[in-house]
Chain A
Amino acid sequence: MVPEPVRVLRRWQELDAVWTLELEPVKTGGRSFQPGQFNMLYVFGVGEVPISLSGDASETAALVHTVRGVGPVSNKLVALQPGDTVGLRGPFGVGWPMAAAEGSDVLIVAGGLGLAPLRPAIYHLMHHREKYGRVILLYGTRSPEDILYAGELAEWGERADLEVQITVDHAVSDWQGKIGVVPALLPTLDFDPEDTVAMVCGPEIMMRFTVNALRDAGVEDEAIFLSMERNMKCALGHCGHCQFGSTFVCKDGPVVSFDRVRGLLSLKEF
């Protein structure tokens, strides 16, 4: 439960108010994590927030987090400078089903900053490409200026073994790409729903629409995985702040299969 000090090695801006931090443990060496897991980052004297790991799980020397400054703690995080120290607990939670998806096609659907928790899964798929069938990445965001990891997306789009489609909600006329919401890409996609594992992360409304489109396409509920975001505090399943039905998002998630949360997604009490 005691945060370990980690030092900011590097920081770079991704988007307006969105920064990526590379952190190095001060006392211990690097640590491993599973794609989809998160850490609790503690700004001393301000507070603690859960932030997904967004780097490559095969590189354990440093921990990479992409943070949007929207509140007291996250605003302090994005303002950190190289050499500054924060506290870290983790990694916590259940990640993406990388082993269970082996042998299947993998369909990744990301919305906005939801690409950050999925990026470690994409790295994993690329490192172990021979273990998976088709890999398709659908990414939707607000506008061309809001595309996260734009450079990497462009590189991934050049790969023959990775199918990438990007769409934005709106754009001015010099944008030559697709415009529309990301769930609308699914009916146009030629894929085998019976042999596909879907990994979805984004704002919850986007995930609900995406799940509907996946189910309409014939993907089984058990093959749809969502990364849930809830008010995680202890990260150990003790405090109950992140309870979602019978699921503790911090301990049983953040990645859960849709069949576990079916019926809860549209309830405003949750």
Chain B
Amino acid sequence: MKNIAQIVCEHPFFHGLDGEFCDLVCGCARNVRFNPGEYLFHEGGDADYLYLIRYGQVGLEIAVPGKPPVSFQTLHDGDLVGVSWVLPPYHWSYDARAITLTRAIAMDARCLRKKCDDDPALGYEVLKRLLPILTSRLQATQMQILDVYAAPEQSP
């Protein structure tokens, strides 16, 4: 059976991280499990944790008054859930709900932020892994905003 250090360091987000750094971040980690329909966090809540999905599917949702929530992204095995933990004032900007049984690593955000602040080399490593995720999500959002599959306004 794998210990938490092995699980954390084998997760795609931390995979290849220097062993010393890995030991540092593992001190902030614990295993968690979410049943289908259970929320990982809600919009406006404190971004106290980030989640690294081991197995499962998580939907990111925006609540719409009087209507069912709208999901704009699903995340799967190996994905990172939540980026607000790194940006002050550390509040979630959407809801995250488990769609299937989801096992994840919950990283204590305060703990990880402190370790990154204390060791800028670790902080730089973490940011290098976070930025491509942010960039790809920004590009995806651009496509979604453009609503590219809508019927063209003018056509023969």
Interface check B20, CB cutoff 8 A = no
- Residues of the A chain whose Cβ atoms lie less than 8 Å from the Cβ of B76: 178, 188
Interface check B70, CB cutoff 8 A = yes
Cβ–Cβ contact B140 & A180, under 8 A = yes
Cβ–Cβ contact B71 & A171, under 8 A = yes
Cβ–Cβ contact A181 & B99, under 8 A = no
- Residues of the A chain whose Cβ atoms lie less than 8 Å from the Cβ of B3: none
In the assembled complex, the CB of B35 is this many whole angstroms from the nearest CB of chain A, namely: 15
Whether A111 contacts B71 in the complex (CB less than 8 A), given A49-B156, A74-B156, A209-B143, comes out as no
Name the CB-closest residue of B to A111: B149
Provide the bound-state CA to CA distance between A176 and B104, in Å: 19
* Residue among B68, B139, B152 making CB contact with A70, cutoff 8 Å: B152
Cβ–Cβ contact B149 & A112, under 8 A = yes
- Residues of the B chain whose Cβ atoms lie less than 8 Å from the Cβ of A183: 139-140, 143
Which secondary structure dominates where chain B touches chain A?
Answer: mixed
Interface check B31, CB cutoff 8 A = no
Interface residues of A in 154-208 (CB under 8 A from B): 167, 169-181, 183-184, 187-188, 202-203, 205-206
Interface check A150, CB cutoff 8 A = no
Cβ–Cβ contact A203 & B149, under 8 A = yes
Q: Mark B9-35, 1 if CB is under 8 A from A, else 0.
A: 000000000000000000000000000
* Residue among B69, B78, B148 making CB contact with A173, cutoff 8 Å: B69
Provide the bound-state CA to CA distance between A112 and B149, in Å: 6
B interface size (C-beta, 8 A): 31
Cβ–Cβ contact A112 & B148, under 8 A = yes
Cβ–Cβ contact A47 & B149, under 8 A = no
Interface residues of B in 63-114 (CB under 8 A from A): 67-74, 76, 78, 97, 99-100
Cβ–Cβ contact B150 & A142, under 8 A = yes
Provide the bound-state CA to CA distance between A140 and B146, in Å: 14
A-B contacts, CB under 8 A, total: 90
- Residues of the B chain whose Cβ atoms lie less than 8 Å from the Cβ of A61: none
Cβ–Cβ contact B74 & A179, under 8 A = yes
In the assembled complex, the CB of A12 is this many whole angstroms from the nearest CB of chain B, namely: 19
A interface size (C-beta, 8 A): 40
Whether A169 contacts B144 in the complex (CB less than 8 A), given A141-B149, A146-B149, comes out as yes
Name the CB-closest residue of A to B145: A169
Name the CB-closest residue of A to B153: A70
Q: Mark A47-62, 1 if CB is under 8 A from B, else 0.
A: 1110000000000000
Cβ–Cβ contact B71 & A184, under 8 A = no
- Residues of the B chain whose Cβ atoms lie less than 8 Å from the Cβ of A184: 136, 140
Provide the bound-state CA to CA distance between A150 and B37, in Å: 26
- Residues of the A chain whose Cβ atoms lie less than 8 Å from the Cβ of B118: none
Cβ–Cβ contact A206 & B59, under 8 A = no
Interface check B1, CB cutoff 8 A = no
Name the CB-closest residue of B to A207: B148
Whether A176 contacts B99 in the complex (CB less than 8 A), given A71-B154, A203-B148, A203-B149, comes out as yes
* Residue among B68, B71, B148, B152 making CB contact with A179, cutoff 8 Å: B71
Whether A179 contacts B146 in the complex (CB less than 8 A), given A47-B156, A70-B152, comes out as no
Task: Jot down 21 A-B pairs with beta carbons below 8 A, ordered by A.
Answer: A70-B152, A70-B155, A71-B154, A72-B156, A111-B149, A140-B149, A142-B147, A167-B74, A169-B72, A169-B144, A171-B71, A176-B99, A177-B74, A178-B76, A179-B73, A180-B140, A183-B140, A202-B149, A205-B146, A205-B148, A206-B149
- Given A142-B149, A169-B144, 7 additional A-B pairs, CB 8 A: A71-B156, A112-B149, A167-B74, A169-B149, A173-B97, A187-B136, A203-B149
Interface residues of B (CB under 8 A from A): 59-61, 67-74, 76, 78, 97, 99-100, 136, 139-140, 143-144, 146-152, 154-156
